[in-house]
Chain A
Amino acid sequence: MSSYIEGILMLSGINLIAVLGLSLLTGFAGLFSFGHAGFMAIGAYSAAVCTKLLGLPFVAAIAAAALVAAGVSWLIGRATLKLKGDYFCIATLGFGEAIRLILDNFQGLGGARGWPGIPPRTTLLNILILDVIGVVLLANLVRSRHGRNMIAVREEELAAKVAGIDTFRYKMLALVISAAYAGVAGALLGHYMTFIQPKMFSMVKSTELTIIVIFGGLGSISGSVLGAVVLTFLPELLRAVDKWRLVVYGLAVIGIMIGRPRGLMGGFELTPKSIRAHFARRREERAIKAGRAAEDGDEALSGEADGKGGL
């Protein structure tokens, strides 16, 4: 594999972890965040402190990144999750920018010029392992009572409350887990680039993560995976048309959202079971159409099955 392609693959894999976390928060619990790059920054800097200053092993640094990001998100959640949805979203935006500004002015960790010399510990293999763990844990979570309670918050918060669901607790849980994912992504990014700088974690990055989640389809883990890979590769492939890159990127995103308003996979999950069910449905439709065609003699055969799933 050329190191160029490998590099992009690694970036997609790293992005994917942050996207999975945000997917839980936005796609499943229904809370929008425009500050998730802030949690990535916290993860990146905490992990770098662990390996570079404290000489800890990479595994410990990743765990620390997850824990610190989760801890900070808990504080943020305490302060903002009682606010109505829109205010939470604005608060996350403020948080993301605040983290960036604090790091800009903290000379001990390089300040705005950035912090070089982080050991290159991230490999394609450890990214892949963490991606798989990330997907499996998330898939297990959303198909449990805890995940369903988060989905209930997204669907109809008041009904969730009178069904005995502690909505504050479940929003907090979604936020904390998603921040831990972002922290891990930050740790991997720092140890891949070997250099971190506050402006890598700006609002642009946060927005990119949200775009990927929406592009992939809210409430679909496979959509998030697809979204992360496609939308990390796309800008890289478009480097050839340099100036037009972001325009084409934007158009591609808009195109998908027009063609599939619920995102690439919107609410549909790619699992062996769902794929079998999909083909069974297609066969059934074709059989029905064939039956009808035999009766009417002029029915066109076009079987576009729409992905409408539940969870």
Chain B
Amino acid sequence: MSDILQVRGLTKRFGGLAAVNDVDFDVREGGISGLIGPNGAGKTTIFNLITGVYKVSSGTVSFGGRDITDLEPHRIAGLGVTRTFQNIRLFKNLTVFENVLTACHASASYGLADSLLRLPRFRREEKAIMDKADGLLEILGLSDRKDAIANGLPYGLQRRLEITRALALDPKLLLLDEPAAGMNPDETEQLMRLIGEIRDRFKLSVLVIEHHMDLVMGLCERIVVLNFGQKLADGVPDAIRGDQRVVEAYLGGGDK
């Protein structure tokens, strides 16, 4: 198996604080990898650097062998890297269907004139992406909420919708930022299974941030541990579980 994402010497400074400091890691193609660490360890910052939301201070990110460091976020997304957010960011006033349909935009290529004049190409492609959005909602079990306003959905379904919207881009790498936050153990269990299913069905690679060690251990094939912006350890779950530094960081660092 080859690596789909390679992070080398990744560093992000905010003023004097190095939120991410010289971090190296890889994400295996077709795998589910975990990024864990205590609060403020720099996990979300790494996502922001990979997706181009923040400018990198130094270091590189390459995706599928291509350097994507400091590309604009929409270009990185266009190459096949997308994400969800720790504090859910849906198109709040739109319906569930519209949220997903909007994200299907890149599956259509009709131009402005095609839209303004409703030319045949517009109708054809629009029909195709509507079917695609419907199909995704079906797979993710959101069909019966299709016309609900996103903002009004229960929390767990909002997270699920955000994942559906991300899948609409046909990503090759999906970054999930604490997808289980705020969920009860049942919902969490269900979500973890869903992530596995998504990986198999959509043939993508997943990098997931998660606070709860035990949770991540069950799901991920490889795990990267961060602490105070630095990489502490990196390896298969069993190796991580037995790693003395990791245990110390979690006991001393105040796990949630």
Considering the complex, which residues of chain A in the window 154-183 have a beta carbon less than 8 Å from any beta carbon of chain B?
Answer: 155-156, 158-167, 173
Q: Which residues of A contact B147 (CB under 8 A)?
A: 310
- Could you tell me the dominant secondary structure of chain A's interface residues? helix
Return B181 CB to nearest CB of chain A, in Å: 17
Among A137, A144, A146, A163: residue with most chain B CB under 10 A? A163
B90 touches A310 (CB 8 A): no
B126 touches A163 (CB 8 A): no
Bound complex: CA of A145 vs CA of B91, how far in Å?
Answer: 15
State whether the Cβ of B89 lies closer than 8 Å to any Cβ in chain A.
yes
Return A66 CB to nearest CB of chain B, in Å: 14
Bound complex: CA of A155 vs CA of B74, how far in Å?
Answer: 16
Considering the complex, which residues of chain A in the window 75-89 have a beta carbon less than 8 Å from any beta carbon of chain B?
Answer: none
For residue B117, which residue of chain A has the nearest CB? A140
Instruction: Give the number of residue pairs across the A-B interface with Cβ within 8 Å.
Output: 101
Q: Which residues of B contact A64 (CB under 8 A)?
A: none
**What interface size band does chain A fall in?**
20 to 34
Given contacts A144-B115, A164-B169, whether A159 and B129 have CB atoms under 8 Å apart is no
Q: Which residues of A contact B139 (CB under 8 A)?
A: none
Given contacts A140-B118, A144-B115, whether A151 and B102 have CB atoms under 8 Å apart is yes
Select A310's contact among B77, B94, B112, B169, beta carbons within 8 Å.
B94
Return A308 CB to nearest CB of chain B, in Å: 7
State whether the Cβ of B153 lies closer than 8 Å to any Cβ in chain A.
no
Q: Which residues of A contact B63 (CB under 8 A)?
A: none
State whether the Cβ of B205 lies closer than 8 Å to any Cβ in chain A.
no
For residue B101, which residue of chain A has the nearest CB? A148
For residue A153, which residue of chain B has the nearest CB? B91
Q: Which residues of A contact B101 (CB under 8 A)?
A: 148
* Partner-binding segment picked from B1-9, B13-21, B78-86, B230-238: B78-86
State whether the Cβ of B251 lies closer than 8 Å to any Cβ in chain A.
no
A156 touches B82 (CB 8 A): no
State whether the Cβ of B165 lies closer than 8 Å to any Cβ in chain A.
yes
* Partner-binding segment picked from B26-34, B37-45, B103-111, B196-204: B103-111
Return A152 CB to nearest CB of chain B, in Å: 5
Q: Tally B residues with Cβ within 8 Å of A.
A: 42
A311 touches B94 (CB 8 A): yes
Select A164's contact among B91, B92, B105, B112, beta carbons within 8 Å.
B105
Return B230 CB to nearest CB of chain A, in Å: 26
Return B146 CB to nearest CB of chain A, in Å: 11
B149 touches A308 (CB 8 A): yes
A151 touches B91 (CB 8 A): yes
Q: Which residues of B contact A267 (CB under 8 A)?
A: 93
State whether the Cβ of B53 lies closer than 8 Å to any Cβ in chain A.
yes
Return A258 CB to nearest CB of chain B, in Å: 21
For residue A143, which residue of chain B has the nearest CB? B115
Q: Which residues of B contact A311 (CB under 8 A)?
A: 94, 98
Bound complex: CA of A164 vs CA of B74, how far in Å?
Answer: 4
Bound complex: CA of A155 vs CA of B8, how far in Å?
Answer: 34
Select A166's contact among B74, B110, B169, beta carbons within 8 Å.
B74
Return B75 CB to nearest CB of chain A, in Å: 8
State whether the Cβ of B95 lies closer than 8 Å to any Cβ in chain A.
yes
Q: Which residues of A contact B64 (CB under 8 A)?
A: none
Q: Which residues of A contact B103 (CB under 8 A)?
A: 163-164
Bound complex: CA of A145 vs CA of B53, how far in Å?
Answer: 23
A151 touches B116 (CB 8 A): no
B115 touches A147 (CB 8 A): yes
Mark contacts of A100-134 with chain B using CB atoms, 8 A cut-off: 1 yes-contact digit, 0 otherwise: 00000000000000000000000000000000000
Q: Which residues of A contact B118 (CB under 8 A)?
A: 140
Sample of 18 further A-B pairs with CB below 8 A, known A149-B102, A155-B94, A156-B92: A141-B115, A144-B114, A144-B122, A148-B101, A151-B91, A152-B91, A155-B91, A155-B93, A159-B85, A159-B90, A162-B82, A163-B105, A164-B77, A164-B78, A164-B82, A164-B106, A267-B93, A310-B147
The 7 A-B residue pairs with the shortest CB-CB distance in the complex, in nearest-first order: A144-B115, A164-B77, A155-B91, A161-B73, A159-B89, A145-B105, A310-B95
Identify 22 residue pairs between A and B in the complex whose beta-carbon atoms are under 8 Å apart, listed by A's number. A137-B116, A140-B115, A141-B115, A144-B110, A145-B110, A148-B101, A148-B102, A148-B105, A149-B102, A156-B89, A158-B73, A161-B53, A162-B74, A162-B76, A162-B82, A164-B74, A164-B82, A164-B169, A167-B74, A310-B98, A310-B149, A311-B98
B-binding residues in A (CB < 8 A): 137, 140-141, 144-149, 151-152, 155-156, 158-167, 173, 219, 267, 308, 310-311
A-binding residues in B (CB < 8 A): 51, 53, 72-74, 76-78, 82-83, 85, 89-95, 98, 101-106, 108, 110, 112, 114-118, 122, 126, 129, 147, 149, 165-166, 168-169
